[in-house]
Amino acid sequence: MINLLSDYIWQSLPQYAPFETNPNLRKKVTDDGKMRSYRGNTAVFLLDDGTKRALQGLRDELYSVAGEMLSEKLQTDIFHMTLHDLVNGFGTEEGFDACMADAEYKAREIISRFQSDEPLRMHTTRMFNMVNTSIVLGLAPADDETHRRLDEMYCALETVVPLGYALTPHITMAYYKPGSYGQEAMERLRPALREVDLWVTLRPKDLVLQIFSDMNHYRTI
């Protein structure tokens, strides 16, 4: 259930323009690049301050070369690796809050089973385009045992809210600004989608439930 996308991430941007962002992006980002109200909860690994400082530099590099394509900057403090999304949407649907509460109750019990485990060592792969919605930094387990344990955690949470697809370990670095972009913009962005050599430690004690009100505001619960 873990997908490292080894082939896809090397050619994640289309070769030729125009580059069209995913229509679903407008659920989260306005056309002028502001974060739209979008509620939900999720199970994430919090990251240490040293890792977040390194990610801040990578984020700022993206904006220096392709800022016109990108939404407002993600705050450094909210950088995380998502283990499993739970409930999300605009939060106006009947029963939405009850669904969130039920998922939190079930996920909390599962997370507690793993929080005393040993840390997971991950190595970054490269920056890549994630389904024309965002730019992310890929992560790969350091060894087979780490892969097995991460897969066990993901599959356990899949019993709470079944997503039906594999975990692609990554850290979201930036969302696009919705729209269509030409060849010149793509060629400025392409060199920034490069290999990155960082070791990242995911500590099970830092596996937490968070709620969000938009893609730039998360709170641990």
Domain parsing of the chain, residue ranges: 38-220
pLDDT at 10 over 90: no
- The CATH class given to the 38-220 domain equals alpha beta
User: Does residue 186 have a pLDDT over 80?
Assistant: yes
pLDDT for the residue 142:
96
Distances (CA, A) of 93 to 25, 89, 97, 106, 167: 19, 8, 9, 21, 27
Over the stretch 67-96, which tens digit does the pLDDT of each residue have?
A: 999 999 999 999 999 999 999 998 888 899
Tokens standing for residue 110? 């599962």
Mean pLDDT of 141-152: 97
Residue 8, pLDDT above cutoff 70? no
Task: Report the alpha-carbon distance of residue 132 to residue 93 in Å, rounded.
Answer: 27
Average pLDDT over residues 36-62: 98
Residue corresponding to tokens 């793509």: 186
pLDDT higher at 45 or 2: 45
